Amino acid sequence: MKDAFAWMTWTLPVAIFFISVVLMLIGMTVWEIRSPTMERKGLLPIPTTRGDRLFIGLLSAAYFNLGWAGLTDAHQGFAAAIGFVVVVIVMRWG
């Protein structure tokens, strides 16, 4: 019988991705405890907190990466770099 999780390919980039997400969540938790956030309105059409902006930024980066993978044959590293820039922009000015 095959392992239920045999379909998941654990490579170094996948591990780095998941470790990065966990570190971001830990960092955001510590930041929130030390300095509670206030809602603000930036580029996004809704008032958001830091956690909201992180979530929206990560979703945006994920959808961008999926679109990149589905529509181009270019190296996925470019999409990851652009996704990182998207997260930074949303966190700073969103």
Domain chopping of the chain, boundaries:
12-93
Give dist(CA 80, CA 64) in Å, integer: 9
What digits encode the pLDDT tens for the residues 6-23? 566 677 877 888 888 899
How would residue 27 be classed by pLDDT, with cut points 50, 70 and 90?
very high
What digits encode the pLDDT tens for the residues 37-56? 888 888 888 899 888 898 99
Q: CB neighbours (10 Å) of residue 11?
A: 9
Query: Which percentage of the chain shows pLDDT scores above 90?
Result: 14
The whole-chain average pLDDT of the chain stands at 84
Q: Using CA atoms in the order 25, 29, 31, 35, what is the torsion angle rounded to 10 degrees?
A: 150
pLDDT of 2: 57
pLDDT of 37: 86
